[in-house]
Structure 1
Amino acid sequence: MRRRGFVLNSAVLVLLIPMLLLLATYEDVSSQIFRAQNERVLVERSFRGVAYFDSDFQRALEISGKRALIAAIDYVTATEEFIKQKMANETLKDLILFGTSEELSGYENLEKIMQNQTIERWLILTREYLLEQGFLIEQSNEEILNNMRITVGVLDSFTIFVKAKIPNITVRDFNGKIVYSGSIPKSGNPTYVFIDIRNLEDPLFPPMTGGRYSRSIRACVYPYPELTGRPVKVLEGKGSSDRSYVLGEFSRSIGEDYIYFGDFYPGDGALAYVLLNGSLELSAPIIVNTSVGGIPISPINVLDEGDAGVLVFRNLSAGSERKGWCALSYNYRVNVTITNPSPTTLTNFQVPITLKLSSNKISLPQTPNIVVYDGDCNPINFWVEKWEKTGNTVDLIIWVRTSISAGSSKTLSIYFDSSAPIEWGDPNLIFEFYEDFEDGNLDGWEFAGPTNWTATTDDARSGSYSAKSGVLSSKRETSCMYRTVTVSGDSELSFWWKVNNNKGILSFYLNNTLKDTTTNTNWQNKTYELSPSSYVIKWCFNTTKRNPKDSDVGYVDLIIIRKAGGSGVSVTSSEVESKPEYPLQPSVAKAYDLQPFLECLLEQRYFGVYNGWSIFERLEGSYDNHEKYEELANKTQDELGISYEDKHYPIGLVSFMIPHDSFDSKLYTLFALGLTARPLKEGQSSADYYFLQYYFGNGNETNGYRMWGVSYGTLDVPYFIFNPPVDLSFIPFFLDNQTAISILSNEAACDLLEGYTCS
């Protein structure tokens, strides 16, 4: 029995040994599998943690960067204080990292805007998250922040960048094993965040204007004119014209109000023509053989229907193809020289030219049509007050509006011919205010008394109409006519008045203060000096008759407000000349489509230019750090491989300020109310930083020029947002040569800036 038991036990043992070995092997493998699975979980968790680090670090930079920029802009616009203690990019860096900056200390909105969205807070939350996952960051938050490499800068005109990298970070599990050691991002390269500044408020305006004016940064459709395309389109060609500039709207339809453009001549009837093919033998201004960069191209492929345009014809001045005769439709002219002996430049000044014309060679016309040009064949605004012929002698009074430098002279040519197109000028383009009642109504005037004043042909000092007082029924009644006028500079008010009989009394009031009365039955002229302000001008009639008749009335006519000054201005004239005979020669000509530029001006859009003020300089209110910001931008663009045809993108911004009701009614109101440091000055650049420094600060003048088709030129046809007649010199827009070259090109600046001498 024992043997059997032994044998049985031995057999069982023999059988159990392999099983125990198998179990032992299974247990060992299972343990290895478990450990491997656990390590894989740890690896996956650490991998997810590191991946989380990369993506969330970039996201944190983006959120904190945007909030920092908004906080800086809000600080400057709300407090009206520029960032001065540090450069703006360093201030943003502090806000991104810590949510505070010495520059913004005490700023109550800072916490509301930042909302603790900083890199410091992100590190705290990241540490907590990894701790929940079973990991520890070895370095302290302070150590990480101090060693972090972060740069904030302007990337281009409409973008800022944040570049950052954590150079070394170590993550361990709870057992002390290192699961990650390296940089964030793990690639070793810095991460970039880009922040678009478009539609944000421009911080330059509120501090400069005392909070009275603001503007948002909106890009023009041609955002980088020095790189990607100009906001003016131009065609070159050969041309023929009786004047150097023609302004109008481009059209594919023939009409006397439009500049026709196409491939071939469509027939007579257009204001001017721009053609791919054609002849110069036309009386209307014409450009043919159109090209771009020397390559022939159809105007249809460049110009657009309804766009505002300027045709430029060179070599039309004296001694060239036109031999100085600007108006080919007119057979006669007289040259006048206006001399300004004073030490003050006369700008857009109204000059009366009084002449007695006579000739023993030609018969002077009885009722001619007239135009006026300067020595460069540029049309001059004018108005004919008088042309009276007696025998072969003419008494002429003609007003012109022109600018004459101090101590210098200007020669103008008055062309006349009875067979020429009808033209006697427009007094509304000459004077600050003009009223002759020739439209037969008193629109714009207000009245007081039993009956209103009316426009009448009963009597007139000039033309056919004057204003007549209302009919009175007793001597206790008074009939008044009045309106408000505004003058922007020292001016002179002039008017003519009379009464119908010596029982009538006509009184003149200025801001409800009686200035004078008349009982004279003959027309008399009165003048008054006005300083810049708004005035109520009022005339009132009453009578000493107990029972006045309908004929007991007073009359007022020819009310004019003109600029004051010009003491000593003299006018001399030549003899009457006849048009010489000579062959027509072509000139260098160009057709400019200004519509894109005009629309950007009207919508107050921004251009990205090399010499403009970047968003950071606008936060600082200074151009001092421009080179530093530009150097950093160029370096960053190189690192990112960003360029346009191997050229760096600019970082500067510029928009334009035009204090005219048609372009910017809010800015216009600031000037009208006298809320600027200085009154409007002819020739001060409209570039926003120059404009703000001069008119709202103590900056020096930056000289600018009027631009043909924007703030210079006269038209009798529809143009852009204006209805005829149009005198663009009423638009106070001036381009300094540097900004003009940046946006328009040097060639366009030479062609379109009035008075600019090309280098």
Structure 2
Amino acid sequence: MRRGYLLNATVLLLAIPLLLLAATYQQASSYIITAQSQRTLVERQYFSVNGIQDDLQNIVELSFKRAYLTLTEYVINNDFVDNASRELKNLMIDGTIEGSPQEGMVNITLKTWFSNTVDYLHSIGLEITPSSPDEFVANHIEVTVGPLDAFHVAVRVKVKNITITDSSGTVMYSGDLPQGKDQYIYSVVSIVGFEDPFIVRELNGLYTRVITPCRIPFPGETYGYYNATREEDIDELTLNWCYIGIPDNSSAGMYYPTILDRFEGSMKNHNYYVFLSGQFRSDLGYAAELPVGLETFMIPDSNIDPTLLGALTSLGANVPSDYTSVSYYFLKCALEGEECDVQGESVSTEVPSFKLDSVTRLLVFGE
């Protein structure tokens, strides 16, 4: 009996810490569950659609920058695209170009953002309609990309007709993001410092230029003109490989490609892009009428640009003697046999191989 008593006492002594541990664990678990419930309740009480809208603004800006870089790399390494505005939109929405997923867009698309938003709302006891990311991108989001001016592209985004409810079915929010029929989330990206996709693609990767504004980025009455008799002005335009913003002259039949046209290697969508730029500037309150045409000058002269001359020779280009140095028309003529009717004459005796058509010369030099 004594031995049995000792065994029972020993078991009891060993069981007491286990019982205390179980009670403590139960209390801690209850505390954690209660704290989580309280946090969820607080988050739900202080839920504001403004937080989702701010989050949307952030993903739009990040996604747009990455989309522009991704499209640049794609065109440089593959080919021109049929519609640059549409492809930038698709990159932002689901990370694809012409239906092919692009590695650079993983986890930073609007579709992924919406999926994460659905999960977050569910975690605080809220539901959103639609809840399917596929339905969201198909019917509930509007994305439009266009040039803002020669050196900037913009995107406007609106989330349409969503409803957020709590567990009781009470509507917390119903409508668009941002609120208002004509309200959009905008993001603007500078293209300065990026490679020119048109020149690299036309010259099959043998030659490239980085988009850098000239000293007078927008020649004209407002910002001044270049001087054809000033050596430093001619050197600026011929040796620095810089870019200028230049407006169309429809009456003379001269049109200058926007950066989106340069992704396409043509100007079939040019009028639409010019229209979009006007809409964007109006929406954003831009007073200045900055041109959207983007150009640089190409001079196949061994003393001015031997690398360009070598690339053209390698590709068997036919460089006419009366070419215009405007890059779009020059390359279209030399490599594709198009636009060869845009002829040029020497601008300066200092660099006789720098030739411009009469319309471009007037826009740049004001003479």
TM-score for the superposition, normalised by structure 2: 0.80
Change (3 A) 1:167 1:670: closer
Aligned-residue offset at 1:133: 2.4
Residues 594 and 709, structure 1, Cα contact 8 Å, conserved in 2: no
Mapping of 1:239-638 within 5 angstroms?
310=229, 593-611=230-248, 612-638=256-282
Matched residues in 1 for 2:171 and 2:350: separation? Answer: 70
Q: Which runs of 5+ in 1 are unaligned?
A: 1-36, 234-308, 311-592, 712-728, 749-759
Residues 683 and 704, structure 1, Cα contact 8 Å, conserved in 2: yes
State the partner residue of 1:147.
140
Aligned-residue offset at 1:743: 1.3
State the partner residue of 1:642.
286
State the partner residue of 2:66.
67
Matched residues in 1 for 2:324 and 2:335: separation? Answer: 14
State the partner residue of 2:21.
none
State the partner residue of 2:27.
none
State the partner residue of 1:116.
107
Aligned-residue offset at 1:95: 1.5
State the partner residue of 1:174.
167
- State which of 715, 725, 736 in structure 1 corresponds to 2:357: 736
Matched residues in 2 for 1:674 and 1:64: separation? Answer: 38
- State which of 315, 321, 328 in structure 2 corresponds to 1:675: 315
State the partner residue of 2:129.
138
Matched residues in 2 for 1:735 and 1:162: separation? Answer: 34
Matched residues in 1 for 2:125 and 2:303: separation? Answer: 67
Aligned residues: 319
Residues 201 and 217, structure 1, Cα contact 8 Å, conserved in 2: yes
Aligned-residue offset at 1:211: 2.1
**Residue 152 of structure 1: SS of its match in structure 2?**
strand
Does the alignment pair 1:657 with 2:274?
no
Residues 147 and 258, structure 2, Cα contact 8 Å, conserved in 1: yes
- State which of 86, 91, 100 in structure 2 corresponds to 1:95: 91
Matched residues in 2 for 1:193 and 1:670: separation? Answer: 37
Aligned amino acid, residue 290 of structure 2: Y
Aligned amino acid, residue 295 of structure 2: V
Residues 158 and 198, structure 1, Cα contact 8 Å, conserved in 2: yes
Matched residues in 1 for 2:238 and 2:71: separation? Answer: 27
State the partner residue of 2:344.
704
Aligned-residue offset at 1:700: 4.0
Aligned amino acid, residue 622 of structure 1: S
Matched residues in 1 for 2:145 and 2:320: separation? Answer: 39
Residues 128 and 162, structure 2, Cα contact 8 Å, conserved in 1: yes
**Residue 195 of structure 1: SS of its match in structure 2?**
strand
Aligned-residue offset at 1:709: 4.6
More helix by proportion, 1 or 2?
Answer: 2
Residues 154 and 614, structure 1, Cα contact 8 Å, conserved in 2: yes
Matched residues in 2 for 1:163 and 1:226: separation? Answer: 29
Residues 195 and 210, structure 2, Cα contact 8 Å, conserved in 1: yes
Matched residues in 1 for 2:299 and 2:52: separation? Answer: 50
Per-residue CA deviation, residues 275-307 of structure 1 (Å, 9 max, x unaligned), is xxxxxxxxxxxxxxxxxxxxxxxxxxxxxxxxx
Change (3 A) 1:214 1:177: same
More strand by proportion, 1 or 2?
Answer: 1
Rg comparison, structure with higher value: 1
Aligned amino acid, residue 199 of structure 1: G
Aligned-residue offset at 1:174: 2.5
Per-residue CA deviation, residues 537-579 of structure 1 (Å, 9 max, x unaligned), is xxxxxxxxxxxxxxxxxxxxxxxxxxxxxxxxxxxxxxxxxxx
Does the alignment pair 1:45 with 2:43?
no
Matched residues in 2 for 1:700 and 1:39: separation? Answer: 65
State the partner residue of 1:419.
none
State the partner residue of 2:156.
163
Aligned amino acid, residue 236 of structure 2: E
Matched residues in 2 for 1:125 and 1:142: separation? Answer: 13
Aligned-residue offset at 1:193: 0.6
Residues 145 and 155, structure 2, Cα contact 8 Å, conserved in 1: yes
- State which of 684, 701, 707 in structure 1 corresponds to 2:323: 684
Matched residues in 2 for 1:737 and 1:44: separation? Answer: 67
Aligned-residue offset at 1:227: 5.5
Mapping of 1:160-239 within 5 angstroms?
160-186=153-179, 189-226=183-220, 228-232=222-226
Change (3 A) 1:175 1:700: closer
Aligned amino acid, residue 83 of structure 1: V
Aligned-residue offset at 1:165: 1.0
Instruction: Provide the alpha-carbon RMSD of the alignment.
Output: 2.4
**Residue 165 of structure 1: SS of its match in structure 2?**
strand
Aligned-residue offset at 1:641: 2.0
Matched residues in 2 for 1:169 and 1:597: separation? Answer: 57
**Residue 743 of structure 1: SS of its match in structure 2?**
helix
Change (3 A) 1:135 1:669: same
**Residue 739 of structure 1: SS of its match in structure 2?**
helix
**Residue 338 of structure 2: SS of its match in structure 1?**
coil
